[in-house]
Amino acid sequence: MTVIRDEVLAKVNDNRLKVYVVWEPILPKDRAEAVADAVAVMAGETRATQYWDAGAVSGKAYRQSLDLPSSPRLGTSTFSSRPV
């Protein structure tokens, strides 16, 4: 997430840009309580909204709908606010 913060949010000064971060467990020790450090990366960034998905349901659905590999470690997508 530091890449998104440092390379995108820091360089694009536009409140229309929104970032939605979904954290899910990848390692056995990953729990909601352990996410505090990760969430802190985007702390104070008003354009970022963060979610914790304990069951990794959103990641599975996202991978299936976009036909992505079964276990990517980092995923980013960009969507325009205008129809294409």
Q: Where are the domains of the chain?
A: 2-66
Cα-based angle 21, 29, 75 (whole degrees, multiple of 5): 30
pLDDT band with cut points at 50, 70 and 90 for residue 4 = confident
Q: Where are the alpha helices (DSSP H) in the chain?
A: 2-3, 36-40, 57-66
Question: What tens digit of pLDDT does each residue of 13-61 get?
Answer: 999 998 888 888 877 777 777 778 878 888 889 999 988 888 888 888 8
Give dist(CA 59, CA 52) in Å, integer.
11
Q: Which residue has the tokens 């991978």?
A: 63
What is the value of pTM for the model shown?
0.69
Give dist(CA 45, CA 33) in Å, integer.
21
Residue 46 pLDDT = 92
